[in-house]
Amino acid sequence: YYDAHPKQMPTLNYTEEESNEISGIAADVKSCVSSSMAEFITGNRPLSDWDNYLEELNNMGLPRLVEVAQTAYDRAVGTAIE
């Protein structure tokens, strides 16, 4: 596998503006994921609540976090469309 795919994920370097925008989102998402993972594993949150969990993440700004990360990735690999 390594021989076929020797490249590693590049380090994502965010602009100051991007960093400021996503810092709160990233912290909220990380906290939600950590606590929800524990709740799902222990059964304190039923798996039937999965769609609500995904909606919570989306409402926290996860799509924007992914968008900014994609922009940073594109910039790192030189494929950004400007």
Q: What is the pLDDT of residues 6-54, one digit of tens each?
A: 677 788 999 999 999 999 999 999 999 999 999 999 999 999 999 999 9
- What's residue 8's pLDDT? 78
Q: Structure tokens of 51?
A: 């769609």
> CA 13 to CA 19: how far, in whole Å?
9
Tell me: pLDDT of 2 over 90: no
- What's residue 81's pLDDT? 53
pTM greater than the 0.95 cutoff: no
- What's residue 5's pLDDT? 66
- What's residue 34's pLDDT? 97
